[in-house]
């Protein structure tokens, strides 16, 4: 399933979840269930923004963006993290208001049933989106999936808490659970934002991708061919590799270029979405790749 299709499905599922959870809150009067509904509201805004960013990220490279637009996905995950923080603030405010005016819960059975149905839908979609995020290397899809997983665990905690309120008649437990929900989603939001920050800072490719690159280069390296000064970075679904390939000084340019083409093709076959930039050098020449000192 395509990334855009999954994000559209995420929007639709979030709308259904909002309807179910809002009904659950309206029936029971539980501020814990209200916090759960507010988090689903974040899901809608986040999925819509992610859909917009994924659309931009899919644009081909142009004169102003020669490396493409794939980094747009990082803005999606950052926006989602900020929306999560806003929802947490609203949840804490509602919980503090309820602590000052404790109220008994009503219609708990119906309310919890609606919440569980919503959680099942979110859980199934999150599982599908996480698998697709690995396939398409989409950070926007991964961020949305992680948020949905957090939503599922949040709902589970709220359900348990509401059952405890019903069993013990400890009315203060309901707003306390809501505050716990807020703390949990802030933690998840911070994780999502940090992931986008690392991407915007040109973080190196994942260790497993690095291993595949090294394994591919080992097929070509021998006593006369060597590779060094390898630098990688990731930008959304794209991966970039810059390196030097040393060949015997007596080789013709055509022979060296043919080998470089074979290496590039092998790397692209092994790592989909990789763009490799290989500089040719004679074996007896060392480039000053890391010689430039950076001024603070």
User: pLDDT, tens digit, for every residue of 92-143?
Assistant: 877 787 778 777 777 888 888 888 888 888 888 888 888 877 777 676 677 7
User: pLDDT, tens digit, for every residue of 18-75?
Assistant: 888 888 888 888 877 777 777 777 777 777 777 777 777 777 777 777 777 777 777 7
Q: How many other β-carbons are positioned within 10 Å of the β-carbon of residue 33?
A: 32
Query: For residues 178 and 295, which has the higher predicted lDDT (pLDDT)?
Result: 178
Sign of CA dihedral 139, 140, 141, 143: positive
pLDDT score for 245: 92
Q: Which residues pair with 233 in a beta bridge?
A: 240
**What is d(CA 39, CA 147) in angstroms, rounded to the nearest whole number?**
9
pLDDT score for 292: 45
Query: CATH 3.30.70.1350 residue ranges in the chain?
Result: 207-282
Is the pLDDT at 167 greater than 70, yes or no?
yes
Order across the sheet with 226-235: list the strands: 226-235, 238-247, 274-282
Three-state DSSP at 226 gives: strand
**What is d(CA 85, CA 92) in angstroms, rounded to the nearest whole number?**
11
Is the pLDDT at 258 greater than 90, yes or no?
yes
pLDDT score for 67: 72
Three-state DSSP at 99 gives: helix
- Mean pLDDT for 73-101 is 75
User: pLDDT, tens digit, for every residue of 188-238?
Assistant: 777 777 767 776 777 788 888 889 899 999 999 887 898 988 888 877 667
Query: For residues 232 and 149, which has the higher predicted lDDT (pLDDT)?
Result: 232
For residue 294, name the pLDDT band (cuts at 50, 70, 90): very low
pLDDT score for 199: 66
Query: CATH 1.20.1510.10 residue ranges in the chain?
Result: 3-200
Tokens of 183: 């703390």
- Strand 238-247 to 226-235 pairing: antiparallel
Is the pLDDT at 281 greater than 80, yes or no?
yes
**What is d(CA 156, CA 32) in angstroms, rounded to the nearest whole number?**
11
- What CATH number should be reported for the domain whose range is 207-282? 3.30.70.1350
Domain 3-200 indexed as CATH 1.20.1510.10: yes
Q: Which residues pair with 244 in a beta bridge?
A: 228, 279
């Amino acid at each position: 399933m395509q990334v855009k299709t999954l994000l559209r499905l995420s929007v639709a599922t979030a709308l259904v979840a909002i309807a179910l959870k809002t009904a659950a809150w309206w029936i029971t009067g539980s501020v814990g269930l209200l916090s759960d509904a507010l988090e689903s509201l974040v899901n809608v805004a986040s999925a819509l923004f992610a859909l917009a960013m994924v659309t931009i990220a899919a644009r081909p490279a142009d004169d102003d963006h020669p490396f493409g637009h794939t980094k747009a996905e990082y803005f999606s995950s950052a926006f989602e993290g900020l929306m999560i923080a806003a929802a947490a603030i609203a949840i804490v405010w509602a919980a503090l208001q309820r602590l000052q005016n404790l109220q008994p819960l009503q219609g708990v059975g119906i309310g919890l049933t609606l919440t569980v149905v919503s959680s099942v839908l979110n859980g199934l979609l999150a599982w599908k989106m996480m698998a697709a995020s690995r396939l398409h290397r989409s950070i926007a899809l991964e961020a949305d999936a992680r948020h949905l997983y957090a939503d599922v665990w949040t709902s589970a905690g709220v359900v348990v808490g509401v059952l405890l309120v019903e069993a013990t008649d400890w009315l203060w437990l309901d707003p306390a659970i809501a505050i716990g929900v807020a703390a949990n989603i802030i933690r998840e939001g911070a994780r999502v934002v940090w992931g986008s920050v690392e991407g915007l800072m040109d973080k190196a490719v994942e260790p497993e991708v690095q291993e595949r690159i090294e394994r591919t280069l080992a097929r070509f390296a021998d006593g006369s061919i060597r590779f060094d000064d390898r630098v990688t970075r990731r930008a959304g679904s794209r991966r970039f590799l810059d390196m030097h390939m040393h060949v015997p000084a007596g080789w013709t340019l055509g022979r060296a270029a043919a080998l470089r083409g074979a290496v590039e093709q092998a790397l692209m076959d092994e790592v989909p979405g990789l763009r490799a930039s290989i500089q040719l050098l004679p074996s007896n020449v060392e480039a000053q790749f890391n010689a430039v000192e950076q001024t603070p």
